[in-house]
Amino acid sequence: MDYSYPFSIEWSTEEIIDVVSFFEAIEIAYEKGINRQELLTRYRKFKQVVPSISEEKTYFREFEEESGYVSFRVIKEMKAKTGDETIKLKNK
């Protein structure tokens, strides 16, 4: 990992931790797989910090440019599954 996570300097420390935790979950989904419920929990905390869809897309794009991981694909997969399934994606 040789990149930084997107965040706003206006956020509290707790909010930054929640956003970074979410982006770490995206990494895990690509690298080894993550439990859907764990991802959903982290995504919900992320959405409390970033409720706007347009703002979400901006942070997703910034993270993809830095890391190569496409957050939208992981979230789409999470929404398509139910229960405690594992979300695992391959990076293109």
Task: Give the tens place of pLDDT for each residue, 9-62.
Answer: 999 999 999 999 999 999 999 999 999 999 999 999 999 999 999 999 999 999
Q: How many domains, in total, are found in the chain? A: 1
Q: With contact defined as beta carbons under 8 Å apart, do 36 and 77 qualify?
A: no
Q: With contact defined as beta carbons under 8 Å apart, do 86 and 35 qualify?
A: yes
Residue 40 maps to a domain: yes
Q: With contact defined as beta carbons under 8 Å apart, do 77 and 56 qualify?
A: no
Residue 2 maps to a domain: no
Residue 49, both tokens: 């910090």
Distances (CA, A) of 20 to 56, 59, 80, 92: 13, 11, 23, 23
Q: pTM for the full model?
A: 0.93
Q: Please state the length of the chain.
A: 92
CATH classification of the domain holding 69 = 1.10.220.80
Residue 91 maps to a domain: no
